[in-house]
Amino acid sequence: MHTPWWKKSVIYQVYPRSFCDTNGDGVGDLQGIIRHLDHIEKLGADVIWLNPIYTSPNDDNGYDISDYRAIMPEFGTMADFDMLLNEAHKRGIRIVMDLVVNHTSDEHAWFIESRKSKDNPYRDYYIWREGKDGNLPNNWGSAFAGPAWEKTEETGEYYLHLFSRKQVDLNWENPAVRAEVYDLMRFWLDKGVDGFRMDVINYISKAPGLPDGPVNGLYGDFVPHSVNGPRIHEYMQEMNREVLSHYDVMSVGETPSVSVEDAQDFSDPERHELNMVFQFEHMGLDEDEVYGKWSTRPLPLPALKENLSRWQTALHGKAWNSLYWNNHDQPRIVSRIGNDATDAMRIASAKMLGTLLHMMQGTPYIYQGEELGMTNMHFPSIDDYRDIDTLNAYREMTAQRGLSHEDMMARIHRHSRDNARTPMQWTDGVNAGFTTGTPWLGVNPNHASINAAAQVDDPGSVFNHYRQLIRLRKEHDIITHGDYTLLLPDHPSIFAYERRWQDQVLTVICSFSNDVLHEPAIAPLCKGKLLLCSYPAADDCRLQPWEARVYLCAN
C-alpha cells in the first residue's frame, strides 16, 4: 500500500510575526524561523506551515496580500526565504505556504486598476455591483463586523469584501483570475515549496445573483450563498489538474462550515481536489446563536466526543482528516477546554489534549507554543489588542448590540485571536527571548515559567510529551491506518477510543476531570503494552487528573 508522505507527517504551524525577531523591530522574521529550526526538528515535526509572508499592508496580518510574489519587508527578503527553504529541506523539513486567493488587498495592483472605471481590463477581477434602491447590493455582513460591501468614489459601485474592506473578494467566475492564481502557485512550487494551506478556499464560488442571507444580529449571513457554492468543486478540480497534480505536494483547504459530506468530496482521492480540509465543527461547539464565537458557553465533552468520533468514522477509508486544536485564529486549547488555573493542571491537561488528538487518524497540526502548553492572554485594556476581528467586534458589540465593556472584555479574554498570537515564549528573559525591541503584541508574563528553554531537556515537560506523540506516530503504522471506535460513549468525563489495524489494537484513555477518577470500567481497556502515560505510573482502576494513556496490544 502506497502511503503519501503527508499522511505520515506532523505539521508545525509558524505564525512568523510572533515567532522570533532577529532585527529588533518587534516583529518576527524569516531569520527568526531559521534560528529556531532546531526546535522544530527536535520536536520531530517534519512540515512547517507558514502563515502569509507576502507583501501586505497588514490590515489582517498578511491575509490582505498586495504582491503574491514578494516577501513582506518586515519579515525579510526573497534571499531570506530561499535560505529558509534550503535550511529546512537540509533537515528533512518541508515548507507549506499559505495561499490566500479568496481575496486580495485593496492595495494589490489588480484592484488599483479595477476600481478606476467600469471598462478597466481588471474590472471583472473583483465582484462589483450597483446599489439596490439607494441601499447596499444585498444584506450580507462581513466576517469582521459591518457590511460586506464598500462603495468607491470612482464609479459609485460597490465591491464585495467578506472580510475587512481592505480584503476584496476576487471574482473566480473570471477565467483570467483563475489563470493568475494558478500562475502564482506555480511560481512558489517551482521554487521548491511543498504545498499550500488554502485560506477560506470554500468561499470562492458565490451563488448567482448573490441573494440576501438570513438575518442574524445586524446583517444577513453570507454563508448560505457564498460557502461551498455551486462551482467550488469544479474550481478545485481545475486547480488540481492545472497545478497540484504536476508536483509532489500537499494541499489542505481551510473550509469553515464544511460537513463531513463536503469534506469527503474535497478530499476523496478519486475526485482529485485537495488532500484534506480543516473542519470547524469541533471549534464551534462553544459558540451560540446570538453572539457566535463571542459566546460564554463552555465546550461540552459529550458533543466533542460525538463530533470528533463522527469525523473519524466518516472519513476513514474515504478521505483524510486534519487534526487540530489550535491555530492563529483560535484561543489556546489548554485555556479553552483544559485547565490553566494551576501549573500542574495546565501541564496535565495540555498533555492529555495532545494525546487525544495525535492518536487519531489524520495529519496532526501543532500551532507554535502549543507544544509548551502556552495559554490565553488576558490583556487588561482593549487598546492592548491588535487583531482587527477583536477590535471591530468590540466596537459593534458595545456600541450597537448592547454588551457592556466588562462583558465584552470577558468574552475577548476567552475567544480573541490575539490569545494565540502573543509572542512565542523561548526563555524566561526579557520579552521571552522573542525580541530585543518592543514586541508588536504584548508578551504573556507567564513566560517566566512557561518557556521552551525550561522544557526542551525536561523529560516531564509538555514539549517532551508532544515529542513522544510524534515518535509514536512514526513508529506505529496503526496510528496512520487503523479504524476508530469510541469507547465508554456515555462516560461524562472520560474520552476513550480504540484503533484497530491488522492484528493490533491501540487504546487511548483520556480524563477530562480535575479529580482522581476511581473507574473500574477502564480496567478491561488497560490491555497490552503501555506505550505512553502522562503520569509516572498507571493504575488499572484510577485515572489521575487529566491523565492520558495509550496501550498497544495484539488482537
Q: Which long-range contacts (CB under 8 A, 24 or more apart) does 170-175 make?
A: 170/101, 170/102, 170/103, 170/104, 170/125, 170/126, 170/127, 170/204, 171/124, 171/125, 171/126, 171/127, 172/204, 172/205, 172/231, 172/235, 173/231, 174/124, 174/125
In this complex, which beta carbon is closest to ligand NOJ, that of residue 336 or of residue 447? 336
Q: Which listed residue (199, 273, 286, 387) is catalytic? A: 199
In this complex, which beta carbon is closest to ligand NOJ, that of residue 199 or of residue 498? 199
Q: Does 15 bind ligand NOJ (CB under 6 A)?
A: no
Instruction: Give how far the C-alpha of residue 399 lies from the chain's centroid of Cα atoms, to the nearest Å.
Output: 30
Q: Which residue sits closest to ligand NOJ, CB atoms considered? A: 63
Would you list the DSSP string of 224-277? HHHSS-TTHHHHHHHHHHHTGGGSS-EEEEE-TT--HHHHHHHH-GGG-S-SEE
Question: β-pairing, 250-254 with 195-198?
Answer: parallel
In this complex, which beta carbon is closest to ligand NOJ, that of residue 200 or of residue 304? 200
Cell numbers at residue 149, please?
460591501
Residue 55 near residue 72 (C-beta atoms within 8 A): yes
DSSP SS3 for 416: coil
The yes-or-no answer on residue 254 being catalytic is yes
Q: Which listed residue (74, 80, 194, 254) is catalytic? A: 254
Residue 226 near residue 162 (C-beta atoms within 8 A): yes
Q: Quick one: which of 200, 250, 397, 408 contacts ligand NOJ (CB under 6 A)? A: 200
In this complex, which beta carbon is closest to ligand NOJ, that of residue 57 or of residue 192? 57
CB of 328 to ligand NOJ, least distance (A): 6
CB of 399 to ligand NOJ, least distance (A): 22
In this complex, which beta carbon is closest to ligand NOJ, that of residue 281 or of residue 329? 329
Residue 343 near residue 541 (C-beta atoms within 8 A): no
In this complex, which beta carbon is closest to ligand NOJ, that of residue 60 or of residue 371? 60
Applying the rule CB under 6 A, the residues between 293 and 352 that interact with ligand NOJ are 328-329
CB of 63 to ligand NOJ, least distance (A): 3
Applying the rule CB under 6 A, the residues between 57 and 116 that interact with ligand NOJ are 60, 63, 100
Q: Quick one: which of 29, 199, 498, 547 contacts ligand NOJ (CB under 6 A)? A: 199
Q: Does 49 bind ligand NOJ (CB under 6 A)?
A: no
Total residues in contact with ligand NOJ, by rule CB under 6 A: 9
> x-or-dash pattern for ligand NOJ, window 211-250, by CB under 6 A?
----------------------------------------
Residue 488 near residue 507 (C-beta atoms within 8 A): no
Question: β-pairing, 195-198 with 94-99?
Answer: parallel
CB of 256 to ligand NOJ, least distance (A): 8
The yes-or-no answer on residue 234 being catalytic is no
From its phi and psi, is residue 427 left (phi > 0), alpha (psi between -120 and 50) or beta?
Answer: beta
In this complex, which beta carbon is closest to ligand NOJ, that of residue 390 or of residue 544? 390
Residue 287 near residue 462 (C-beta atoms within 8 A): no
Burial of residue 318, with CB atoms counted within 10 A of its CB: 0-12 exposed, 13-18 middle, 19 or more buried: middle
Q: Does 163 bind ligand NOJ (CB under 6 A)?
A: yes
Residues that bind ligand NOJ (CB under 6 A): 60, 63, 100, 163, 199-200, 254, 328-329
Catalytic residues: 199, 254
